[in-house]
Amino acid sequence: MEEDIILGKTHSLEINRFVDFGCYVDGKNLGEILVPKRYIATGKAEGDFIEVFVHTDSEDRIIATDEKPYIEVGQFASLKVVAVNEYGAFMDWGLMKDLFVPFIEQQTKMDIDRMYVVFAYVDSASDRIAASSRLEQFMALGPANYELGEEVDIIVTNKTDLGYKVIINKEHWGLIYTNQVFEKIKIGDKRRAFIQKMRDDDKIDISLRKSGLEHIDDVSELILAALREDEFIGLHDKSEPDEIKKQFGISKKAFKKAIGGLYKQKLIAIEDNGIRII
């Protein structure tokens, strides 16, 4: 059985015929789909397969493009709002026609030039591709079933008083506690991470490093906390003991041992005039 062509997804489709303004590809369940001329690579012929993203134009006609959007239907991504009107917000997703976010699908009112994590979907009422920042409705309904230490994909959605809230494997909520953050993190970051703890209340703790904080002592954490705030500190192993004592309340020996360990774990860079978080 042939796989259906889904609006808002990338597919490899066969060229049926050429016309002056482009070509038509076999969209199977969606019928023939126009690929405008500017999106067709040179040297293509009837019968060739081309990889295209299927969407709708400004007149809601189904078309395809070889451009790669920043998000596809069924995915989460951080996008920038480029316009707002009485109906909702419009986000730049890498295509000529902006991605629409209805007001009713905005977790908080969206503002121009700000970034928001959204989920792309096909609106059942209009058959149009849209996005939503009300992410809860797109999470998995069943309980999470992860192994401790399991490597997972995450996207960072927002910062809380406890740390950073993330989506795990496009299905479940997780949290990276502030004292687990040893590097720069920004909203919308996608990366690999590790399951640190499955809580009794079904909440999931996430670590960016497989070993978590196993090798981070109190002094090292004190230094990392300061670096998370300022990114750079003008102290190093040649600094005067009084300078180190004034900033951290620790001895120079303890400071040197801590930054040596952090350097070996590739959490900081030691520069001529100080240390910097990586």
Q: Which fold has domain 218-277?
A: Arc Repressor Mutant, subunit A (1.10.10)
Superfamily holding 10-65: Nucleic acid-binding proteins (2.40.50.140)
Every domain of the chain with CATH number 2.40.50.140 lies at: 10-65, 76-137, 151-207
User: CA-CA-CA-CA torsion for 270, 271, 274, 276, nearest 10 degrees?
Assistant: -60
Put simply, whether the predicted model's pTM sits higher than 0.85 gets the answer no
pLDDT in tens, 153-202: 999 999 999 999 999 999 999 999 987 776 778 899 999 999 998 887 77
Q: Which CATH code for domain 151-207? A: 2.40.50.140
pLDDT in tens, 29-82: 999 999 999 999 999 999 999 999 999 998 999 999 999 999 999 999 999 999
Q: Are 25 and 15 in contact (CB under 8 A)?
A: yes
What phi and psi, each to the nearest 5 degrees, are found at residue 17?
-160, 160
Every domain of the chain with CATH number 1.10.10.10 lies at: 218-277
Q: Are 181 and 228 in contact (CB under 8 A)?
A: yes
Q: Are 274 and 234 in contact (CB under 8 A)?
A: yes
Q: Which CATH code for domain 76-137? A: 2.40.50.140
CA angle 216, 220, 224 (to 5 degrees): 105
Residue labelled with tokens 């405008």:
36
